[in-house]
């Protein structure tokens, strides 16, 4: 174990109060998105295909509707003090998400949060349709994810640093196996418990002691 460490953190349902993509689909797509979601959760398709199919169900939105949606997104308010503290201590903190960058950047802007490196899928609006754009360097991901979190950690990790991961969902399962310490809740905590993998349960960022 090293004295220095860095933190990788999921975004949806971890920093935010709820999954931003799920909320987006509830507002603006028909219920077929839930059938596609189940295929992903059952491991029958990867998130690349899942998000592509789900975004095809989203109706045409006005600029105001999109802006109002971004404004409705909320974070766990305890994250602000947590991030300000690790920023003061010069601890490297990276958001690694299989969600969409436009959602993340708008949330960070809303809360005046600066200085975080973000890895996420891109979402472009072309002729009124929302099109996920995936980075080719992740196309060999074994889970067929839009963002291969394992790859991000492999590239971004600092030498002689312990790795801390904070997450809550299915997309965090693989990468959590590469960590020295894991803070987990929801699906991720259930998975780790069932597989006898050590972790620390958290409900808010007040529970995370660095």
Per-residue pLDDT of the chain in tens (210 residues, 90 and over written 9): 567 899 999 999 999 999 999 999 999 999 999 999 999 999 999 999 999 999 999 999 999 999 999 999 999 999 999 999 999 999 999 999 999 999 999 999 999 999 999 999 999 999 989 999 999 999 899 889 999 999 999 999 999 999 999 999 999 999 999 999 999 999 999 999 999 999 999 999 999 988
The b/e string for 124-142 (b: 16+ C-beta within 10 A; e otherwise) is eeeeeebebebeeebeebe
Q: Report the C-alpha gap between 91 and 7 in whole angstroms.
A: 8
Domain boundaries, the chain: 4-207
pTM of the model as a whole: 0.95
Classify domain 4-207 by CATH architecture. Answer: 3-Layer(aba) Sandwich (3.40)
Strand pairing report for 161-167 and 181-184: parallel
Burial of 162 (0-12, 13-18, 19+ CB in 10 A): middle
Taking the chain, what is the end-to-end CA distance rounded to the nearest angstrom?
15
**186-191 long-range CB contacts below 8 Å, 24 or more apart?**
186/13
CB atoms within 10 A of CB 90: 6
**Cα separation, 32 vs 18, whole angstroms:** 20
Q: Classify the C-alpha dihedral 186-191-195-197 as positive or negative.
A: negative
């Amino acid at each position: 174990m090293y004295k220095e460490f860095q933190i990788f953190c999921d975004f949806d349902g971890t920093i935010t109060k709820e999954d931003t993509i799920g909320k987006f689909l509830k507002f603006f797509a028909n219920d077929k998105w839930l059938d596609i979601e189940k295929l992903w959760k059952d491991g029958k398709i990867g998130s690349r295909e899942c998000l592509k199919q789900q975004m095809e169900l989203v109706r045409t939105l006005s600029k105001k509707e999109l802006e109002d949606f971004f404004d409705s997104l909320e974070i766990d308010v305890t994250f602000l003090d947590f991030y300000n503290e690790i920023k003061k201590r010069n601890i490297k903190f990276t958001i690694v998400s299989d969600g969409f960058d436009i959602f993340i950047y708008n949330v960070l802007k809303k809360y005046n949060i600066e200085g975080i490196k973000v890895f996420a899928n891109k979402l472009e609006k072309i002729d009124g349709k929302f099109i996920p754009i995936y980075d080719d360097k992740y196309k060999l991901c074994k889970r067929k994810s839009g963002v291969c979190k394992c790859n991000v950690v492999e590239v971004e990790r600092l030498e002689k640093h312990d790795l801390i991961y904070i997450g809550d969902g299915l997309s965090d399962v693989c990468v959590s196996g590469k960590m020295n310490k894991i803070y987990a809740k929801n699906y991720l905590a259930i998975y780790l418990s069932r597989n006898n993998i050590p972790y620390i349960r958290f409900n808010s960022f007040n529970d995370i002691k660095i």
